[in-house]
């Protein structure tokens, strides 16, 4: 069995990708507003469950990818926007959507327009 999950974080300008993996004090989202695309970190997790053949034990594996919004491939950006739209209010609040969603959608619409100058449909969440 396999599933994917998205988390979105905002990093401080002086913070590197490794440092956002462990923040014992507090999340940066409370400190920043109006983040730039290069300050928005998309954390994608590929989670798998596998049963070992000999012992039949179940192994849970997680592969984590950290990518800044401006480096995210278009297909992944579209997947993120689609997933954001499906989140109920309590999930949106938990994931801090109010901090970064406007910038993500603005960036998505700009990239979509640049890829297809004839498409003027905007996505709103």
Contact in structure between 74 and 10 (CB atoms under 8 Å): no
Q: Has residue 123 been placed in a domain?
A: no
- High-pLDDT (> 90) share of the chain, %: 34
Domain that holds residue 109: 2-115
Contact in structure between 62 and 16 (CB atoms under 8 Å): no
**What confidence tens digit (pLDDT) does each residue in 97-106 have?**
888 888 999 9
**What confidence tens digit (pLDDT) does each residue in 30-86 have?**
456 678 888 888 888 889 999 999 999 999 999 988 889 999 999 989 999 999 999
Q: Has residue 122 been placed in a domain?
A: no
Q: Has residue 124 been placed in a domain?
A: no
Alpha carbon separation from 88 to 35, 67, 84 (Å, rounded): 23, 24, 9
Q: Has residue 23 been placed in a domain?
A: yes
Please determine, for residue 8, whether its predicted confidence score (pLDDT) is greater than 90: no
Instruction: Give 26's pLDDT tier (boundaries 50, 70, 90).
Output: very low
Query: Taking the model in full, what pTM does it have?
Result: 0.72
Q: Has residue 21 been placed in a domain?
A: yes
Sign of the alpha-carbon dihedral angle for 124, 91, 41, 34:
positive
Q: Has residue 107 been placed in a domain?
A: yes
Q: Who has greater pLDDT, 54 or 24?
A: 54
Q: Has residue 125 been placed in a domain?
A: no
Instruction: Give 19's pLDDT tier (boundaries 50, 70, 90).
Output: confident
Q: Has residue 121 been placed in a domain?
A: no
Distance CA 102, CA 105 (A): 5
Counting the structural domains of the chain, the total is: 1
Q: What is the pLDDT of residue 89?
A: 93
């Amino acid at each position: 069995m396999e599933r994917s999950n998205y988390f979105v974080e905002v990093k401080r300008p002086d913070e590197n990708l490794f440092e956002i993996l462990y923040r014992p004090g507090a999340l940066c989202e409370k400190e920043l507003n109006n983040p730039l695309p290069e300050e928005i970190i998309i954390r994608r997790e590929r989670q798998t469950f596998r049963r070992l053949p000999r012992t039949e034990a179940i192994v849970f594996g997680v592969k984590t990818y950290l990518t800044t919004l401006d480096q995210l491939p278009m297909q992944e950006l579209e997947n993120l926007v689609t997933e954001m739209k499906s989140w109920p209010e309590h999930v949106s609040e938990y994931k801090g959507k109010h901090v970064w969603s406007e910038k993500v959608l603005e960036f998505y619409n700009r990239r979509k327009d640049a890829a297809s100058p004839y498409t003027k449909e905007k996505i709103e969440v």
